[in-house]
Every structure is written in C-alpha cells, then in structure tokens.
Amino acid sequence: MERRDFIKALSASLVVFQTPLLAMDLKTSKPIKTQPSKLVWVMLRGAMDSLNTVVPAFAPHLLKQRPKLASSIKDQLLPLDNGYGFHPALVNLHQWYKCKQLTPIVAVSSGYKERSHFDGQDYLESGLPKIDHDSGWLARAITQRNVNAIALARSTPLSLRNTPQANTWYPSRLKDADSDVYQLLLSMYADDKLLLADFSSLFYLDKT
C-alpha cells in the first residue's frame, strides 16, 4: 500500500491495546462499568505536510506563501471548526470528525528540539525526557493497567519495548506452503514427541 493511500484510508494501525480505564466517570475518577475499550495508536513514520492536511484556511498568508499548494485545494476543503479544513482526500477522517470520533490537534510538538527525524520519533515513542531505547510509554502504560497489546509491525516498536504483555503481527508476503511441505516437516519431527506436538498444534491453528 502506498503511504498516501494509507493516510487517505487510515485502514491500518500500529498498536491496539484493550483497557477498561479508558472510560472514566469524571465525578468519581473511577472506571465506568462497560465493555473494555480499545485504544488504537497510529504512528506514521515519515514526513507529512501538516499545513496541507489540516489546512488553516483563515490564515491570510497561506495563499501568498503557498500559492500552488493552497490554491489547488482551497475550494475543496472539508470543513472543520474555527476556519480549518481537511485536505479533500481525507474523506474518511472527515466522517469520523463529523461523528465526534476524531479531533485534530494543531500547533503542538514534543520536547525534542534537535534536527534528527529518527531521534524525534524515538523521543515520542519512549515518552521520557532522555530517550530510553529499551522502555516505551505504551509498554509502561499496559504494564501498569495489566492489559495486553498487539503491534502491527515486523518487530516490536520502541513504544512497546520492555513488557511481556505485548505481541507483534504483520501479514506475510510469502505464499502458503502446500501439504507436501507440512508432511516433510512432520516426518522430520517424528522422533521428537515434544517438537512434533508443538508443530502439530501450529499446523492445526494455521488450518482453522
């Protein structure tokens, strides 16, 4: 999937974890007894033109400083509050906004003040004043709340490092093995009961 298509559809997520503490009673600060909610945190690893995503259409210098970019979409913006507008390609996000399921937050930044794009990402995922590459803010959060998380990634992202309650999953691009391969592997493990049992259980799960 192209990154542009990903942003338009926002159909995949980086981290999902389930916690009953997302729904709180504002008066008592206690969890509301509802079904556990799921928190989805999406990390877009790459550059994004924020002024062309959540567009400050009210800004008098926008057209002057960005004549080509701004003029090409100014009449097609998807309206938000306070004079802002979504880029016309972000139809899904705009629908979530209208349903009060999404709130854009503009003009904010982390405490990282240097120029490294990668260090800036690590700062965000670590969530500490000094970057710790072995401790992520989501990992600390799910450990404290005793819930589980899954990352849609090939390896554990920094945000979920240092907790046994996080797993990763990513779709394989490899072709499914045919039955002959499974039979050959079964024959290899035939003399080891423990490995044979483990492989057989995985084979069963893969086919269900």
94-136 per-position pLDDT tens digit: 999 999 999 999 988 889 999 998 999 999 999 999 999 999 9
Shared domain check, 104 and 15: yes
Q: Burial of 202 by CB count in 10 Å (0-12 exposed, 13-18 middle, 19+ buried)?
A: exposed
| Strand extents, DSSP E, the chain | 15-19, 37-41, 54-56, 78-79, 84-86, 149-152, 166-169
Domain range holding 201? Answer: 176-208
What number of other Cβ atoms are within 10 A of residue 138's Cβ?
Answer: 23
Shared domain check, 184 and 163: no
pLDDT score for 32: 58
Rounded to an integer, what distance in angstroms lies between the CA atom of residue 189 and that of residue 197? 9
Rounded to an integer, what distance in angstroms lies between the CA atom of residue 34 and that of residue 24? 10
Shared domain check, 204 and 130: no
Shared domain check, 194 and 133: no
Question: Which of 129, 127, 117, 110 minimizes the C-alpha distance to 162?
Answer: 127
Shared domain check, 181 and 102: no
Q: How many domains does the chain have?
A: 2
Shared domain check, 185 and 111: no
pTM of the model: 0.62
